[in-house]
Amino acid sequence: MRILVTGGAGFIGSHIVTELTRRGHDPVVLDALLPEAHPQAPPLPDAEWIHASAEDPAAVRQALRGIDAVCHQAAMVGLGTGFSDAPDYVSRNDLGTAVLLAAMAEADVRDLVLAGSMVVYGEGRYDCPRHGRVWPGPRSPADLDAGRFEPTCPDCGADLLPGLVGEDTPPDPRNVYAVTKLTQEHLAAAWTREMGGRAVSLRYHNVYGPGMPRDTPYAGVASLFRSALARGEAPRVFEDGAQRRDFVHVRDVAAANAVALEAIPDRTPGVLTAFNTGSGEPHTIGEMAQALADEHGGPAPKVTGEYRLGDVRHITASSQRLLAELDWRPQVGFADGMAEFARAAQRGAPGPVTSTPSAG
């Protein structure tokens, strides 16, 4: 297939381009090379290249010529520097998606794989011993200031047991980035219904691996810890470090995109299906920081007790739907993945990326 990969020069997008090429597909890259994602100019993917934004209708129409399917990775990610970033998030994520979908409708391109995110859920799954499944609201600044990080039952105040979140969990976005990712899904769902398109949203959990950007607030926690270690500094672990996450390797995410693209022509038109995309192996943020520090050779992480109001306490995935429907299996375990990541160069850092040439 000839596949347009928006954001194809980025961290995840470049690995997808490499995986699609390996499988015999013909990827075309559309990327604006935003400075938030590219502190320095990255190695360009070994594929047809269009230097433009997904917000540019003319460039998108040009990029869609002869395209069979679209893999939409272009987005502004992370929590950023504050609410002042909100216009950029909405423009780049939601306006860009709307422009892309409108151009796909015009070009009669009917197949879309979207980079979704676990952030749409807000907090993960929780069970109360008395009340069963509950949905705790946002944590209060007073509780966080007092070091009370764990959500409690909204009915009785009891301690809760965190579990794996499934795709049918009602969305509850807690920050601007999360709102824009949910909006992308709603736009894509509307497009599928009106145009008879087929769409898959891969709700990524915490993606990490070679080629993550260095020293930027527009990246995940793994990148922040790895950047600190590269500077010879201790990773700063917020709260008490017991926040549960699902860390999934970027090559596994790239494979999930390739599998979804290959399967999408057989999916039902007019429907968007969401798939959690995680490793199925929950770990705490403290464990991740310690594993990186150990493999990198220190310094040891520092647990600070700080917090960010946009963060959630626990969010871990059940990826059973993806395993069952698309026969995808993660291949990189936590220990091996962290050992590789601790030694790999980062985007914007000197030295080669220890991955494929286009995955910088």
Q: Looking at 89, 121, 126, 177, which residue is catalytic?
A: 177
The helix, strand and coil proportions of the chain, stated in percent and rounded to the nearest 5, come to: 35, 20, 45
Contacts of 154-161 with CB under 8 Å at 24 or more apart are 155/128, 155/130, 155/131, 156/128, 156/130, 156/131, 158/128, 158/129, 158/130, 160/126, 160/127, 160/128, 160/134, 160/136, 161/126, 161/127, 161/128, 161/129
Q: Which residues pair with 277 in a beta bridge?
A: 204
Of 341, 239, 216, the C-alpha closest to 285 is: 239
User: What is the SS3 assignment for 229?
Assistant: helix
Of 159, 162, 123, the C-alpha closest to 139 is: 123
Q: Which residue has the tokens 């959690």?
A: 276
Contact 97, 54 (CB under 8 A): yes
- Rounded to 5°, the CA angle 252-258-360 comes to 60
Write out the two tokens for 260: 């979804």
Residues with Cβ within 8 Å of residue 313, at least 6 apart in sequence: 123, 124, 139, 149, 150, 151, 162, 239, 243, 244
Active site residue 307: no
User: What is the SS3 assignment for 134?
Assistant: strand
Alpha-carbon span 238 to 235, nearest angstrom? 10
Contact 63, 42 (CB under 8 A): no
Contact 341, 224 (CB under 8 A): no
What positions carry a catalytic annotation?
177
